[in-house]
């Protein structure tokens, strides 16, 4: 009986030993294991860079927006329509400069030609930005509406000056403001902006006299950005 117990004990011990030897980890070189882990991590980082959209771009861009130049209810045209398209170049991930052209309707039609600068505060799809553009409005009409002359004297309680034909020539403008850009992908997004417009318009009479009108307007616009 003792022999049987001893034989069973030796057999069990041998089985456990062989099983333990089978579960021993293979002899892995620590440097090889480290390189393997680093390779997998680098692959993961590269994959993230490939799949993540690049909203902080450099290069050509176009911003086309439209809206209204909102003014006083005493003005003849309370909210002239304005559309402006800017073709520019993003020199850094945050700063871009371009040239804009469009059309605006005060009492006459004008073509604005401006230099536009934009600074984005974030390199993400959603970013606030500051902008400023300044330039000149070129008149597209040869004759001005007579109400322009009358509107200049709207504070007079009685007699209005007689109507005289005037020729619009345009005027300088400056337009700083702030906005929000929301990119839907790397190449297309929406922009909303709110700014202050100072506009000076110049008119000439037939007898070589002149008339200047200054406008202070709230510039409210919504548009698209392409790159």
> In tens digits, what is the pLDDT along the chain, a chain of 227 residues?
555 445 545 544 554 454 445 445 445 455 554 555 455 655 554 555 555 677 767 899 999 999 999 887 656 677 889 999 999 999 998 999 999 999 998 878 899 999 999 999 998 889 999 999 999 999 988 776 545 544 444 444 444 555 567 788 889 999 999 999 999 988 899 999 999 999 988 888 776 777 778 889 999 999 999 98
Burial class (CB in 10 A: 0-12, 13-18, 19+), 68: middle
Report helix, strand or coil for 184.
Answer: coil
> Would you kindly state where each structural domain of the chain is located, as residue ranges?
2-51, 59-226
- Asked if 77 and 104 touch (Cβ cutoff 8 Å), the reply is no
pTM for the whole thing?
0.67
The pLDDT assigned to 143 comes to 73
User: What is residue 114's predicted lDDT score, i.e. its pLDDT?
Assistant: 97
Strands 126-139 and 81-90, bridge-based pairing: unpaired
According to the model, what pLDDT value does residue 211 have? Answer: 77
* pLDDT in the model for residue 123: 87
Residue with tokens 């008119």: 203
Question: For residue 67, what pLDDT is reported?
Answer: 95
Hey, which bits of the chain come out as E strands?
59-70, 81-90, 95-105, 109-120, 126-139, 166-183, 188-205, 210-226
pLDDT at site 30:
52
Can you give the pLDDT at residue 2?
Answer: 52
Residue 73, pLDDT score: 63
3-state secondary structure of 144: coil
Per residue in 79-95, pLDDT (tens digit) is 889 999 999 999 998 99
Identify the CATH class of 59-226: mainly beta
Q: What's the Rg (C-alpha) of the chain? A: 36
């Amino acid at each position: 009986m003792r022999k049987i117990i001893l034989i069973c004990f030796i057999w069990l011990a041998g089985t456990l030993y062989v099983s333990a030897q089978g579960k021993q980890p293979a002899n892995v070189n620590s440097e090889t294991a480290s390189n393997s882990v680093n390779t997998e991590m680098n692959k993961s980082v590269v994959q993230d860079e490939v799949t993540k959209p690049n909203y902080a771009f450099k290069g050509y861009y176009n911003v086309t927006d439209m809206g209204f130049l909102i003014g006083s209810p005493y003005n003849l045209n309370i909210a002239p329509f304005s559309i402006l398209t800017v073709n520019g170049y993003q020199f850094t991930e945050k700063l871009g400069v371009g040239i804009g052209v469009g059309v605006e309707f005060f009492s006459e039609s004008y073509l604005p030609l401006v230099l536009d600068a934009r600074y984005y505060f974030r390199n993400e799809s959603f970013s606030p930005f500051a902008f400023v553009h300044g330039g000149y409005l070129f008149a597209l009409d040869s004759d001005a509406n007579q109400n322009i002359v009358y509107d200049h004297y709207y504070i007079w309680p009685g007699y209005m000056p007689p109507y005289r034909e005037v020729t619009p020539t345009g005027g300088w403008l400056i337009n700083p403001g702030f906005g929000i850009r929301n990119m839907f992908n790397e190449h297309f997004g929406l922009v909303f902006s709110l700014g202050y417009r100072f506009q000076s318009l110049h008119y000439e009479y037939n007898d070589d006299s002149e008339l200047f009108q200054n406008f202070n307007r709230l510039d409210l616009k919504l548009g698209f950005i392409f790159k």
